């Protein structure tokens, strides 16, 4: 698996060099090269690693490898490919002539990652057009126990709440009728449907052109929601909690938010998350789901440590290897201290990196991304 990483300064580059265990003396001549594209590769044959370094150096780029690649005292090395787009594209062409040492698989992975990195527009379903101009998805909680108490909406207030969010700049409404906060108590599908459908009917009638997402991991609820005009199914579990969801979404064909779902922290969050998405996307395509109707959500807070969440946010570009739009749900989560100011700060930093931000406070977050947009 090869993926882009976010290296913005010398400290970032030094951290990666230390992780790969490169020769410390190499940092002096690597440091002027940090302001280029960076792609990280795991567990590369040491001969392939040496070849990559040689070929990128010849093109004016470079490759960070472990210090024992040169003396052959290691069998494998992680690598950091550093180069301009033209240098990296030239490397891919060179790799087409080499199939030894695992270079064929590496070439295929790198070609995919490189090509998808530059995808900047998507048509998701019939209504949703996405590009690098980040859109806001407003959260409408129809639950009595959602973690952010102020976001709980009663059925009588659904219309006025939706109108307010749309006036403030939201372009997508996300309706949920079951809390999935840490330690949540599941509710039966029929109860969830009873909470959800009356509100969905109102919103669909009043806002026929607005994109409406339904936050559920239950196939029965998803079916009922789509029948009433829901445009997107937002499943926090990646069809892990209801295996019937996989069959359902492949049949109904509406866009699907595929979330990274794990119950406990893992050793390498980026590698684990990318492999998870790779497997899930393959599974979805095998049952006939249209790839272009997928949106990826890294699932911040779900089975992740504080460090995991920040690692994902800092390296969000790693998800670009799939060439699919990215949704981030960071709003008032525990790792932000459930704090509006921390949420807004992150929204500004995520502008142009995430395609959709799922938030509780539309007006404040819109101001943050507008300010970030003006500073680009």
Q: Which of 358, 367, 373, 376 is catalytic?
A: 358
Please confirm, yes or no, whether 333 is among the known catalytic residues.
yes
Q: Which of 333, 334, 338, 367 is catalytic?
A: 333
Please confirm, yes or no, whether 358 is among the known catalytic residues.
yes
Pairing relation of β-strands 62-64 and 76-83?
antiparallel
Catalytically active residues are 333, 358
């Amino acid at each position: 698996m090869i993926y882009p990483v976010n290296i913005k300064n010398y400290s970032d580059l030094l951290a990666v060099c230390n992780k790969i265990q490169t020769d410390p003396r190499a940092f002096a001549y690597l440091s002027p090269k940090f302001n280029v594209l960076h792609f990280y590769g795991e567990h590369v044959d040491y001969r392939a690693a040496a070849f990559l370094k040689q070929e990128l150096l010849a093109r004016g780029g470079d490759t960070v490898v472990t210090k024992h690649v040169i003396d052959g005292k290691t069998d494998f090395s992680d690598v950091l490919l550093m180069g301009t787009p033209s240098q990296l594209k030239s490397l891919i062409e060179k790799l087409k002539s080499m199939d030894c040492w695992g270079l064929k698989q590496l070439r295929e992975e790198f070609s995919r990652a490189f090509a998808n990195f530059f995808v900047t527009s998507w048509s998701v379903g019939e209504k949703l057009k996405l590009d690098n101009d980040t859109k806001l998805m407003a959260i409408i909680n129809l639950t009595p126990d959602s973690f952010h108490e102020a976001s709980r909406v009663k059925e009588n207030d659904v219309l006025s709440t939706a109108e307010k969010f749309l006036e403030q700049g939201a372009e997508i409404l996300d309706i949920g009728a079951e809390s999935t906060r840490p330690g949540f108590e599941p509710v039966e599908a029929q109860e969830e449907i009873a909470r959800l459908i009356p509100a969905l009917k109102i919103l669909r009638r009043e806002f026929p052109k607005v994109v409406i997402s339904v936050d559920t991991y239950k196939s029965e609820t998803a079916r009922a929601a789509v029948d009433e005009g829901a445009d997107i199914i937002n499943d926090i579990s990646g069809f892990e909690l209801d295996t019937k969801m996989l069959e359902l979404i492949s049949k109904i064909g509406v866009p699907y938010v595929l979330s990274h779902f794990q119950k406990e922290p893992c050793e390498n969050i980026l590698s684990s998350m990318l492999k998870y998405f790779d497997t899930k996307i393959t599974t979805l395509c095998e049952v006939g789901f249209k790839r272009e109707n997928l949106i990826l959500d890294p699932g911040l807070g779900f089975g992740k440590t504080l460090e995991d969440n920040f690692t994902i946010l800092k390296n969000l570009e790693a998800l670009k290897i799939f060439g699919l739009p990215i949704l981030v749900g960071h709003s008032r989560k525990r790792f932000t201290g459930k704090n509006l100011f921390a949420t807004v700060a992150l929204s500004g930093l995520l502008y142009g990196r995430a395609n959709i931000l799922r938030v509780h406070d539309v007006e404040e977050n819109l101001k943050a991304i507008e300010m970030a947009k003006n500073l680009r």
